[in-house]
A and B are shown apart, each in its own frame.
Chain A
Amino acid sequence: MATTYAVVGKRVPRVDAVDKATGRSIYGSDIYLPGMLHCKILSSTQAHAKIKKIDFSKALAVPGVKSIITAADVPDIMYGTVGNIRDRSFMARDRVRFIGEPVAAVAAIDEDVAEYAVSLIEVEYEPLPAVFDVLEAMKEGAPLVHEKLQEYEGSTGLRKGNICSLLTATRGDMDAGLSEADFIVEGTYRSQPINQGYMEPMACAAEVEPSGRVTIWTTTQAPYAIRNTIAETLQLPMNRVKVIPLEIGGGFGAKLRVSFEAFCVILSQKTGRPVKMISSREENFTAIGPRLECVATIKTGVKKDGTITARQVHAVYDTGAYLGPGVGAGVGHSTGPYRVPNFKAESYAVYTNKIWAGSYRASGVADMVFAVESHMDEVAACIGMDPFDFRLKNILEEGDRSLTGEVIPTMGLREMGEAAKTGSNWNTRKQEDGWGIGVAFSDWKSGTGASTATVSLNEDGTVSVLTGTVDIAGSDTSLSQIVAETIGVPFEKVVMAKKDTDAAPFNGPTGGSRVIYSAGRTVLQAAQDAKEKVLRLAADVLEANQDDLEVVNERVQVKGSPDKGRSLAEIARLSSSSKYGSIMGQAALSQLPFAPIYNAVVVEIKVDKETGMIKVLNFTQSQDLGFAINPNSVEGQMEGGAVQAIGRALYENFIFDKGKPVNPSLTTYLLPLALDVPPMSTIMIESVSKEGAFGAKAVAEPPGFGAPAAIANALYNATGIRIRDLPLSPDKVRAALKAKQSGS
């Protein structure tokens, strides 16, 4: 970068860091309202059953119990995850479809009383045949999870048996591509159910005023999605539902939609008192959708020289009891960042009697990256080519078209790959027994969607910014940097206003690596608009041409005559009595051009052949991210994503036994600890985007993609064994090593 900046690109401390380090930040569970009641949920014990009868008379008689609700108290309006069929309600109506599905909710004077009352509710079930395995569920004659699937409103597409979504894509001529190939390689890869593992359990509170206005405090990545879902399903006007987003104690996609807010609202409507719900850790496994497994079969045709000629993909996503996100990735991420001239993919979402599939770090993509990048190594092995060279030979170049037809702009994919190669020990391999190295590439497109911003100049020269986009990973800091740089004030002079859904119009969620690219450009434009208005007024005041003005050290002055000027504070004071009015810049944007980002991971491992245990020795990743607005935040995202992916590679596994969660706790669902983390090397490739603020593209999603495939590839490199289902746990590795030894 030739340009030097005063604020962007700097490692400024996060604006929320002091409050968080002192314990003063307010999260969902930290809301205490006068007279508030506490809510607890009764969940289904059955994987699939008719609800014959719910008797809560004993529970209601407990002193301190104020109200109990069931589906009978919830308007019979179905909803869906964004863009999907409306197949669900807040509470099970007539039948339950998974163990953990909410059946009733209690409001009582404290949590103990509420919990005791829940234990006294009697539900009579009539069990129905259930199906748990996604491939079984696809078969003709499998028990139907939704008998009325055909009648549901919402997006159409294939609906057959338990199949509730099918996406397909083709390009070129598949048969011609395969016949052109010297070799055809095929493999089936299976990922495992994953809990998002955010540290803050879902927590919210709601208060309904006598006028009917509703206020909801909650931990959320998507305050407007919560407002809209609550308003639609509870039949309230949107302008009477205010969602106040609190600090988000980790989300990773899980906090993109309603959790328990509706219960608090209904119970508050019934009791006239505020109602708070803090969910247990167990409920965050059993009632909040995790990712479920994906089974992907990939067939690739390749020439001897390493040119890919064709690819066919068949992906099946387990979506649990209700349709969640992710199935699109089975098509959209089936080629990886490579040229594939002839291509055919189909991706299914299939119901089973397990908890619904939720969002987690680019839902569905990580599954495909494991499949595609494991497969790439198998293809490279087939033709005897170095896996890195094979990838670099086939990568996309500027001017190529993405699978969805966008022209690839200037980007740093090759540079990123080379940096990962030279920045790791790829070229200096150890000859130790059990040592291995593996690579995986991945791609993502910078997220778009609605963002709004207003930038106001205050009468003391400080700047206030309001956007409806919430901060989960440091974006308020980065957005402040963008505004400070644009207007020409020190970072400390910019403050992000507290947000709620009344204060700003609809903003998209904080997810899908959307905020820095999309909201970043929005605040940039709003700041430019504010600055333009500053200069317009200053031109009048200074009797100068607007084009001759510049902002230096918080003063507007005439270029070349620095003594002819006014401070920003003076301009702000003058503005309120000027013909233009107060200084306020604004911007509202939605779709932005295609800005792909790329990531490469290189992992060194050591396999203990006795125990099957894999130890990660070194972790190198490089990413093309455009421009790092705040390198601290970027590194933090890259390191954090990588460690989640290591957990997914080696031990994280949310296990079900006939639909019953086996390990719904942090004792038994293993998350990576500090001792599990290898030395991390993060390389930022700044291939600036024409579209993003100061060239920034997205960061967060891709660092979480590569590790499982890279480690599976390193395992193959170390031992010659190929494991195609996650996690790469010691029992599987040991069994595979034994099988190899005995020659089977």
Chain B
Amino acid sequence: MKKNFIILNVNEEERELYVYPHRSLLDTVRDELQLTGSKKGCDEGDCGACTMFLDGNPVTSCMVLAVDAAGRRITTIEGLSNGTKLSPVQQAFVEHGAVQCGFCIPGLIMSGTALLTRNPNPTEEEIRMAISGNICRCTGYTKVVEAIQAAAASYSR
């Protein structure tokens, strides 16, 4: 099998890579770029821990081939904060006790951010729907939903 040359645009940085055609975007970003904030919980699109933005839309990056992501705008959890300044959703997760083991949290924060970007005033039901592709085993979701509700204030302002 031959590797393909691709250019990935990750968090506004262009990276030149040789990758096998079957390699997932998740594995490539983690193993080649050492951006390990996106997590592999299932590798089959069930758990949502690997959620990234592709051209601004949330995707489970374990189900996207790296070669298909070439030339598109990729945002990972590492791209949400600005230096040490947290994004509003990140800040709200910290303040509202929504973080427990933390393994699902990058994915939940990405899904929550995607929701608030397109709908700054979601209902509780809409929040729960937006994160229903992210499995969290620790929190029971209650504080996660509260955090996204709290973050909405800074989007709808």
Contacts and interface: CB of A to CB of B under 8 A. Distances in A.
Given A281-B44, A640-B139, A680-B142, A11 B97 contact: yes
A17 B93 contact: yes
A636 B100 CA distance: 8
Given A27-B103, A473-B138, A639-B141, 16 more contacts: A21-B86, A21-B94, A23-B35, A23-B38, A23-B76, A26-B36, A199-B49, A199-B104, A250-B138, A636-B138, A636-B140, A671-B137, A674-B129, A674-B132, A674-B145, A675-B128
Given A201-B40, A281-B42, A16 B99 contact: yes
B135 A24 contact: no
Nearest to B79: A23
A640 B97 CA distance: 12
Interface of A: 11, 13-14, 16-27, 29-30, 32, 112, 196-201, 247-252, 278, 280-281, 472-474, 632-633, 635-636, 639-644, 665-667, 671-675, 677, 680
Nearest to A247: B102
Given A21-B93, A112-B20, A671-B135, A14 B99 contact: yes
B69 interface: no
Contacts of B39: 27, 29, 199-200, 249
Interface string B121-157: 0000001110110111111111111000000000000
Q: In which size bucket is the chain B interface?
A: 35 or more
Contacts, number: 174
B67 interface: no
A21 B99 contact: yes
Contacts of B103: 27, 198-200, 247, 249-250
Contacts of B139: 636, 639-640, 643
Contacts of B140: 636, 639-644, 672, 677, 680
Interface string B16-46: 0000100000000001001111111111101
Contacts of A198: 101, 103, 137
A23 B101 contact: no
Contacts of B142: 635, 639, 677, 680
B141 A665 contact: no
Given A249-B103, A474-B100, A22 B138 contact: no
A281 B37 CA distance: 18
Contacts of B129: 674-675
A281 B105 contact: no
B141 A674 contact: yes
Given A199-B47, A674-B128, A636 B97 contact: yes
A297 B85 CA distance: 58
26 contacts: A13-B94, A17-B93, A18-B94, A20-B105, A21-B86, A21-B109, A22-B86, A23-B36, A29-B39, A199-B104, A199-B136, A199-B137, A199-B138, A200-B39, A200-B101, A278-B40, A474-B100, A632-B97, A640-B138, A640-B139, A640-B140, A642-B140, A666-B47, A671-B135, A674-B131, A680-B142
